[in-house]
Amino acid sequence: MSTPKKAPLIVLGITGCIAAYKACEVVRGLQERGANVHVMMTENAAEFVGPATFHALSHNPVITSTFHDPDDMFPHITLPQACDLFLIAPCTANMMAKITWGIADDLLSTAALATTAPIALSPAMNVHMYEAASTQHNLEVLRSRGVHIIEPGTGYLACGDVGKGRFPEPEEIVDVAMKILEEQQSSGADA
């Protein structure tokens, strides 16, 4: 008799971007594929979608501050070290820059620095922000470190511009996340 397979634990980081509302569909898609999703949000993300929405969808407490829970003084360390995948979707140019340069000045950037799990980022921003030399440099550095980048889509953006920077379809993000988990599991089985 085989033992039941443990649900992969995914930390979903959400940053302050209009695409934050689409992260609701990412939570649902990950759950439908058997994942246990825990949400961490930046203060700016909560301006777009409230933590209560993600709490209701994920069935887990939503962490919005390093000092969120008096019983866990280290949520920026405990959860990121326990997870199987650290996914930030949407990921702003600001958060990408923080992760690239090791700046840990809020809950999510600190958690990204503390995680021992694979990291996947789904950039979402204005086309000019995406095409900026500094953003492209940060993407290059992150890729060279093994960070998985989920390419943004091209098209009409919330600001009215047209170009690359759109949040990918939630199903695409879920597919990439599950593929990373499968690769991780198969490489662990080979060890």
Residues designated catalytic:
159
Q: 11 forms bridges with which residues in the sheet?
A: 38, 86
Distance CA(16)–CA(170), nearest Å, equals 17
Backbone angles phi, psi at 16, to 5 degrees: -75, 90
Neighbours of 126 (CB within 10 A): 18
The owner of tokens 């199903």 is 171
Residue ranges with strand state E in the chain: 9-14, 36-41, 85-91, 119-123, 148-149, 153-156, 162-166
The token duo for 122 is: 């789904």
Neighbours of 40 (CB within 10 A): 29
The C-alpha angle with vertex 144 and arms to 79 and 113, in degrees rounded to 5, equals 25
**Around 164, how many Cα atoms within 13 Å sit in the side-chain half-sphere?**
10
